[in-house]
């Protein structure tokens, strides 16, 4: 607990009057604001800070025809102390709610330490005056006891020593000035600001009570913003809110430590995200406020189009609640008209899933099937299109996450375009991690989701669509909630508004993830990192006796499948041992061979894969 302005002396007026009277004696006029700004510092430092302001130092020079010196500071401090001592005992009354609140906390076993900007001699008066009115602390440290006062952390450390507290995480520092907040931040304790009765508010109790609500609200929000900017963990209206705040801190202390997770996810999504992405979710957003719709959603929509096409004029983007499959289903269900026909080229589970979606939705479809270890063959696609002119739409997966096989967009897309079909690409696991020239390739709908190569958290997917094609889809959807056109129209007209409740925290995390993609150097740089991850993994695993499922030319940098090394291999044991060493991998998903998969995407780097290889080596011995 701080003293003046926090525990006693509502508004922190005692030093204020003494400073002003002292400066008057030096023919210097100081404003209330100038006087309050350094409040909380040791008083001699406070005087020096005021003198340093240009307006005050100019007044001094004008009157004395020289600059102020340290000798002046000491002399001023002596005069200040005289004034302060004369009135100090009148400013020792506890602030409302302080006594009851701290009595209650003490009854729960919490110890009350204290720090101050007052000297030991001043505190003798204040402590005695406060005690007479019912306010007591368990420990008092003044700047005289330590090498430096605020904003240095030493007074807090001395309290921890005196009261035998073993961790700064178990300490909350409560204060009313920015110097208090910084003292707490420097000490690494929970730093809490109190608004009402504070030096930062600068009102007497009577002024506070008489203040009109608008002015008061404006004043309070300024003080809160200043305190948060100084590093406060919490800013409370008054001390009565402290017990509830401590409950909240205790809940946070009891939560799992969230560093990078207890293990790395080497999986194709959800995947390992950065700390900043996780942290960005610690705010609640209103779904119809412009801070969210303009500031977050619209920015994302525009960035996605730019990432996919390099420009923004012919394409648009739609964000949709749910996982990636919801977006695939929304796209197929909305893009293909009742009299249309869809050709699906499938070489894995996600291609097959498109077939299942088409069947559920009653979409007329035909399928071109390939082995799971075989790329979609351009000549077969060409044959199929030539053989059946009734086909209107073509869809396939870019990177089949089933195995990690990459289908050759550069040859497949031009064929579809030559036949003038609408082209839908599931680039779920590749968009953001592999450069794709969406416009150049003539892709009409490119589908991806938040929790793959953009490195966000799961909760929504998105579609990059050619605007002209999308505009022809009105009224075609076979579902209400998965109506891609309606979702788009609402977002366009509402400036980023989603049709139904949007996953606000996830969307905010995605915005952070996009910034991190930019900071990394864009998709090309991320592609290089994934390729490096994949190469280190693949070479290292080979040297440990594991064979990749796919031939190198078909292998994507996204995820790698490995064959079981022998008949006795137990994936479950392998998995559990790796997990215990901090790595979570993925089971296989194909029918013809026993495999397991290791993802190369997410906030993971070559050194993580070297560590993984060490772990594999250790558990294989
Ligand atoms: C992840 C993924 C999906 C969508 O899966 P959800 O579990 O619905 O997010 C679709 N296609 C591919 C290629 C994927 O990798």
Q: Give the residue, by CA position, lying nearest to ligand 1 atom 3.
A: 324
pLDDT of residue 259: 47
Compute the distance between CA of residue 155 and CA of residue 172 in angstroms, rounded to an integer. 13
- Whether the pLDDT of residue 350 is over 90: the answer is yes
Indicate whether 261 pLDDT > 80: no
Tokens of 54: 């240009």
Given pLDDT bands bounded at 50, 70 and 90, which one contains residue 255?
Answer: low
Secondary structure element (H or E) that encloses residue 466, with its range: strand 460-466
* Beta pairing partners, 318: 463
- Predicted confidence at residue 415, as pLDDT, reads 98
* Ligand 1: centre distance to CA 187 (Å): 46
Least Cα distance to 6 among 166, 183, 157 occurs for 183
Angle at 333 between CA 271 and CA 287, to 5 degrees: 55
* Strand partners of residue 190: 172
pLDDT score recorded for residue 253: 83
**pLDDT tens for residues 24-63?**
999 999 999 999 999 999 999 999 999 999 999 999 999 9
Nearest ligand 1 atom to alpha carbon 399: 13
Range 103-128 average pLDDT? 97
Strand order in the sheet with 190-194: 172-175, 190-194, 234-236
* Mean pLDDT rounded to a whole number for the chain: 96
Q: Give the pLDDT band (50/70/90) at residue 257.
A: low
DSSP state of 458: S
Which residues have CB under 8 Å from 236's CB, separation 6+? Answer: 192, 193, 194, 195, 242, 245
Model confidence pLDDT, tens digit, residues 326-339: 999 999 999 999 99
- Sheet holding 365-369: strands in order across? 315-321, 460-466, 445-449, 422-426, 393-397, 342-346, 365-369
Distance CA 113, CA 38 (A): 23
**Ligand 1 pocket by Cβ (under 6 Å):** 268-269, 323-325, 350, 397, 401, 426, 428-429, 449
Note the pLDDT tens digit of each residue in 388-445: 999 999 999 999 999 999 999 999 999 999 999 999 999 999 999 999 999 999 999 9
Residue of 431, 449, 458, 510 best suited for mutating to test ligand 1, as the one with most atoms within 8 Å of CB: 449
pLDDT-derived band at 84 (thresholds 50, 70, 90) equals very high
- On whether the CB atoms of residues 305 and 482 are closer than 8 A, the answer is no
Pairing of strands 393-397, 445-449: unpaired
Q: Helices 299-309 and 504-520 sit at what angle, rounded to 10 degrees?
A: 40
What pLDDT shows up at residue 590?
84
How far is it, in rounded angstroms, from Cα 603 to Cα 600?
9
Q: Which tokens go with 111?
A: 């110890």
* pLDDT value for 106: 96
Surface-to-core class of residue 229, CB atoms within 10 Å of its CB (0-12 exposed, 13-18 middle, 19+ buried): exposed
Mean pLDDT value across residues 113-130: 97
Going from the Cα of 350 to the center of ligand 1, the distance in angstroms, rounded, reads 7
Residue 401 alpha carbon to ligand 1 centre in Å:
8
Q: What percent of the chain has pLDDT above 90?
A: 95
Strands (E), 108-263: 172-175, 190-194, 234-236
- Read off the pLDDT of each residue in 306-327 and give the average, rounded to a whole number: 95
Annotated catalytic residue 43: yes
Give the distance (Å) from ligand 1 centre to CA of residue 426: 8
């Amino acid at each position: 607990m701080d003293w003046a302005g926090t525990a006693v002396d509502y508004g922190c007026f005692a030093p204020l009057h003494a400073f002003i009277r002292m400066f008057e004696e030096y023919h210097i006029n100081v404003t209330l604001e100038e006087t309050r700004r350094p409040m909380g510092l040791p008083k001699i430092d406070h005087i020096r800070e005021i003198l340093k302001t240009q307006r005050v130092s100019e007044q001094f020079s004008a009157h004395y025809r020289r600059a102020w010196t340290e000798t002046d500071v000491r002399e001023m401090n002596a005069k200040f102390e005289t004034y302060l001592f004369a009135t100090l005992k009148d400013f020792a009354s506890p602030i409302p709610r302080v006594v009851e609140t701290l009595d209650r906390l003490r009854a729960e076993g919490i110890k009350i330490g204290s720090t101050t900007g007052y000297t030991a001699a001043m505190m003798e008066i204040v402590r005695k005056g406060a005690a007479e009115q019912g306010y007591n602390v368990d420990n008092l440290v003044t700047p005289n006891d330590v090498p430096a006062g605020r904003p240095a952390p030493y007074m807090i450390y001395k309290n921890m020593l005196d009261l035998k507290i073993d961790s700064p995480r178990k300490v909350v520092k409560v204060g009313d000035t920015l110097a208090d907040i910084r003292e707490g931040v420097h000490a690494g304790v929970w730093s809490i600001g109190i608004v009402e009765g504070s030096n930062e508010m600068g009102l007497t109790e009577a002024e506070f009570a008489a203040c009109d609500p608008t002015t008061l609200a404006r004043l309070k929000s300024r003080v809160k913003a200043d305190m948060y900017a100084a590093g406060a963990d919490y800013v409370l209206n008054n001390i009565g809110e402290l017990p509830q705040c401590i409950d909240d801190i205790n809940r946070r202390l009891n939560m799992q430590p969230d560093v990078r997770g207890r293990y790395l996810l080497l999986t194709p999504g959800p995947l390992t995200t950065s700390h900043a992405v996780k942290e960005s979710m610690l705010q609640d957003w209103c779904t119809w406020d412009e801070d969210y719709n303009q500031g977050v959603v619209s920015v994302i929509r525009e960035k996605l189009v730019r990432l996919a096409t390099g420009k923004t004029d012919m394409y648009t983007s739609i964000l949709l609640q749910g996982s990636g499959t919801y977006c695939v289903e929304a796209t197929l269900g909305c893009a293909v008209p009742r009299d249309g026909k869809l050709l699906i080229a499938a070489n894995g589970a996600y291609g097959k899933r498109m077939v299942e979606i088409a069947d559920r939705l009653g979409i007329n479809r035909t399928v071109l099937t390939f082995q799971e270890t075989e790329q979609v063959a351009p000549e077969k696609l060409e044959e199929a299109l030539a053989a059946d002119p009734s086909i209107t739409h073509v869809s396939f997966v870019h990177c089949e996450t089933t195995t990690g096989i990459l289908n050759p967009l550069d040859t497949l897309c031009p064929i579809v375009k030559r036949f003038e079909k609408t082209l839908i690409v599931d680039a779920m696991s590749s968009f953001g991690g592999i450069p794709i020239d969406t416009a150049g390739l003539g892709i009409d709908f490119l589908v991806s989701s938040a929790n793959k190569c953009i490195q966000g958290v799961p909760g929504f997917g998105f579609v990059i669509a050619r605007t002209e094609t999308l505009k022809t889809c009105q009224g075609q959807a076979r579902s209400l909630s998965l109506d891609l056109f309606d979702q788009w129209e609402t977002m366009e007209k509402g400036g980023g508004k989603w049709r139904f409740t949007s996953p606000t925290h996830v969307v905010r995390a995605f915005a952070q993830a996009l910034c991190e993609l930019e900071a990394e150097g864009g998709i090309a740089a991320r592609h290089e990192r994934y390729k490096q991850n994949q190469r280190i993994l693949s070479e290292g695993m080979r040297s440990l006796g594991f064979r990749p499922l796919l031939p190198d030319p078909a292998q994507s940098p996204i995820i790698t499948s490995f064959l079981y090394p022998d008949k006795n291999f137990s994936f479950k044991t392998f998995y559990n041992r790796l997990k215990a060493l901090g790595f979570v991998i993925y089971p296989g998903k194909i029918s013809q061979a026993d495999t397991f998969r290791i993802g190369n995407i997410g906030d993971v780097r070559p050194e993580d894969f070297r560590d993984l290889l060490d772990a594999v080596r250790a558990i294989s011995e």
